[in-house]
Amino acid sequence: MKVLVALLLLVQLLSCKALPHGPFHPLHTRVIDCDDPESEEAAAIALNYINAHHPHGYKYALNSIEKIKVLPRRPFGEIFVLELDLLETVCHVVNPLPIENCTVRPPTDYVVEGDCDVKLVKLEGSFSVLSTKCHSTLDSAEDITQICSDCPILALLNDSQVINAVDLALTEYNRGQDGAYLKLLEIGRAQVQHFPDIVSVEFAVVVTNCSAKDAQDHVDDCQLLPKDLAQFGFCNAAVFTKNNITVSCTIYDHQPGVTHHHLTHDHLGGQLPTVVQGFKHHDLRHSHHGSVHDTSESSSAEASVGLKPAIPVVKRAVGAVQDPTVPSPPVGPGPRHPVCPGKIRHFQV
Ligand SMILES: *[C@@H]1O[C@H](CO)[C@@H](O)[C@H](O)[C@H]1NC(C)=O
Ligand SMILES: *[C@@H]1O[C@H](CO)[C@@H](O)[C@H](O)[C@H]1NC(C)=O
Ligand SMILES: *[C@@H]1O[C@H](CO)[C@@H](O)[C@H](O)[C@H]1NC(C)=O
Ligand SMILES: *[C@@H]1O[C@H](CO)[C@@H](O)[C@H](O)[C@H]1NC(C)=O
């Protein structure tokens, strides 16, 4: 009897082992094009995430989807790996305008191009971002002078002329208005022009609990409004001389839940983050989240497939001799390759 039970168990074990399940199931890799609505949905979610997590500088708009890969995820769902091409807009990160309403900087205005690798998971039809890895590059002065020989050159954000101009402009603005006293959060962009000498600056500000008059007497007591009332703004200014300044500021309505803690905490008073010293723009590089190459939360099947350039379909010669040690590929027309990169929404950089 004991022998029989043991034998039965053994048979069961063997048959279990022979059953194709778990890792032996072939995983289906879906192929979708860069301009597929599903790719666009993934890209839009990634873009919102990037803009919400980019603590400095300006918001970015999508220019094109460069690559997309959809991979099965165990036990459920799919992983989307995308490469996105972005362009800097004129909306500073404190500007509450939705990204669709933000204007992309024109080519004459020193385009900043962002490159992002993003990874999302799609579960039950909805996407969430796992990681983003971006960097951005500023158009070169040579490129600008080719299309516009007298366009002013961008200045370093820590240039003393620039810092001085921002200081003068904000003082001028605070003096001439009867709203709340504004403090500098960060300098976004600056251009220095010669003959006549004009320093043009863009900077983000925060509203304090003082009036301009209060501030004259005791500026050190002027504090930011409490979190549930926090208000931000953005200014454009052109400084010709100390006595010839044009400055305009827009103060945005309070956005519930939006505190820009990073900016108010670390950069109040225009303290430049060290990563910006010596640069002319706020690089997207400083807003990584998660790791694009982190596969701990995903399957091993996905780990082996990286982002590769879309390669042309390799024609398989009919009747080619196959290496007998290599399992034969599945019969059929071979894998379809996604149509990528996708359409360009603004302009080719
Ligand atoms: C954004 O643009 C859309 C379409 O042009 C417009 O209907 C909407 O009012 C704009 N939103 C804001 C906040 O300006
Ligand atoms: C602003 O807030 C600070 C800290 O709460 C307070 O000491 C100061 O008196 C306030 N200033 C004004 C003008 O209300
Ligand atoms: C300020 O500078 C601009 C540009 O140089 C000039 O056109 C304007 O007349 C100046 N205004 C005053 C009040 O000096
Ligand atoms: C700006 O920062 C760079 C890098 O730290 C430094 O080399 C340069 O001297 C700074 N420029 C000014 C005007 O402070």
CA distance 82 to 69: 6
Q: How confident is the model at residue 17 (pLDDT cuts 50, 70, 90)?
A: very low
Burial class (CB in 10 A: 0-12, 13-18, 19+), 68: buried
pTM of the prediction? 0.80
Q: Is the pLDDT of residue 305 over 70?
A: no
**Predicted local distance difference test score (pLDDT) of residue 332:** 57
Lookup result for tokens 């099947």: 301
Distance 100 CA to ligand 4 centre (A): 35
Q: Kindly state the average pLDDT of the residues 18-40.
A: 73
Residue percentage of the chain with pLDDT more than 90: 50
Q: Among 240, 243, 247, name the best residue to mutate to test ligand 3's pocket (greatest count of ligand atoms within 8 A of Cβ).
A: 240
For residues 178 and 274, which has the higher predicted lDDT (pLDDT)? 178
Q: How confident is the model at residue 290 (pLDDT cuts 50, 70, 90)?
A: low
Residue percentage of the chain with pLDDT more than 70: 76
Distance 246 CA to ligand 3 centre (A): 10
197-230 pLDDT, tens digit per residue, is 899 999 999 999 999 888 888 888 898 888 888 9
Write the residue with the smallest CA distance to atom 6 of ligand 2.
221
**Predicted local distance difference test score (pLDDT) of residue 153:** 84
- Atom index in ligand 1 nearest the CA of residue 101 equals 1
Q: Is the pLDDT of residue 30 over 60?
A: yes
Write the residue with the smallest CA distance to atom 3 of ligand 1.
101
Q: Is the pLDDT of residue 192 over 60?
A: yes
Take residue 331 and report the two structure tokens written for it: 């019969």
Distance 95 CA to ligand 1 centre (A): 14
Distance 252 CA to ligand 1 centre (A): 15
| The residue type at 139 | D
Pocket-forming residues, ligand 3, beta carbon under 6 Å: 196, 240, 244
317-347 pLDDT, tens digit per residue, is 333 444 445 444 455 566 788 899 999 999 9
Q: Among 217, 219, 222, 225, name the best residue to mutate to test ligand 2's pocket (greatest count of ligand atoms within 8 A of Cβ).
A: 222
Q: Is the pLDDT of residue 313 over 50?
A: no
Q: Is the pLDDT of residue 182 over 90?
A: yes
**Predicted local distance difference test score (pLDDT) of residue 4:** 46
Distance 235 CA to ligand 3 centre (A): 20
Write the residue with the smallest CA distance to atom 8 of ligand 4.
278
| Cα 345 to Cα 44, 108, 184, distances in angstroms | 13, 18, 34
- Atom index in ligand 3 nearest the CA of residue 244 equals 1
66-94 pLDDT, tens digit per residue, is 999 999 998 999 999 999 999 999 999 99
| The residue type at 304 | S
Number of H helices, E strands in the chain: 7, 9
Kindly state the DSSP code that residue 140 receives in the 8-state scheme.
P
For residues 40 and 218, which has the higher predicted lDDT (pLDDT)? 40
Closest CA to 82 of 38, 29, 42, 36: 42
Write the residue with the smallest CA distance to atom 13 of ligand 1.
97
For residues 105 and 274, which has the higher predicted lDDT (pLDDT)? 105
Query: Can you tell me whether residue 264 is helix, strand or coil?
Result: helix
Distance 208 CA to ligand 2 centre (A): 9
Ligand nearest to the CA of 238: 3
Q: Is residue 210 within 6 Å of ligand 2 at its C-beta?
A: yes
Q: Kindly state the average pLDDT of the residues 243-271.
A: 86
Instruction: Report the mean per-residue pLDDT for the chain.
Output: 81
Q: Is residue 101 within 6 Å of ligand 1 at its C-beta?
A: yes
**Predicted local distance difference test score (pLDDT) of residue 190:** 95
- Atom index in ligand 4 nearest the CA of residue 159 equals 13
Take residue 284 and report the two structure tokens written for it: 């997207």
Closest CA to 87 of 53, 111, 66, 55: 111
**Predicted local distance difference test score (pLDDT) of residue 16:** 42
Q: What residues pair up with 131 in beta bridges, in sequence order?
A: 119
198, 160 in Cβ contact below 8 A?
no
Q: Is residue 273 within 6 Å of ligand 4 at its C-beta?
A: no
| The residue type at 36 | D
Q: Is the pLDDT of residue 300 over 50?
A: no
Q: Edge-to-edge strand order for the sheet containing 58-72?
A: 58-72, 78-92, 112-123, 126-138
